[in-house]
Amino acid sequence: MNRLIKIITLITLFMLPQVGFTQNDGPRNRTFERAEKKKEKQKGNEDKIVEKHHKRIQDKDTLKRMKKTKKKARRHKKGKYEDPFYKKWFRKK
């Protein structure tokens, strides 16, 4: 009986969350964060330039089709959430 209690105790201890063993992020490095933010902003600008170039090389009919499908997509997506419900449920906060 005593051995059974020890086994059950060990099993429950292994099932407990290991909050004490997590690592913290350490001190923040502001210069590194600024550099990362600058890189992300630059990447966003590059994406816009590529998109503009893509639109510029299309002919008139293709641009009309692109505009029509974009408008249709906006109309269908209006009032809907960005992420599906299951992603919201299991997202870490």
Measure the CA–CA gap between 59 and 70, rounded to whole angstroms: 17
The answer as to whether 23 is a domain residue is no
Residue 85: predicted pLDDT: 80
Residues 4-58: tens digit of each pLDDT: 888 888 888 777 765 555 555 566 788 888 888 888 888 888 888 999 999 999 9
Q: What is the domain count for the chain?
A: 1
Q: Which domain holds residue 42?
A: 30-81
Residues 48-69: tens digit of each pLDDT: 899 999 999 999 999 999 999 9
The answer as to whether 2 is a domain residue is no
Contact predicate 37/28, CB 8 Å: no
Residue 81: predicted pLDDT: 78
The answer as to whether 1 is a domain residue is no
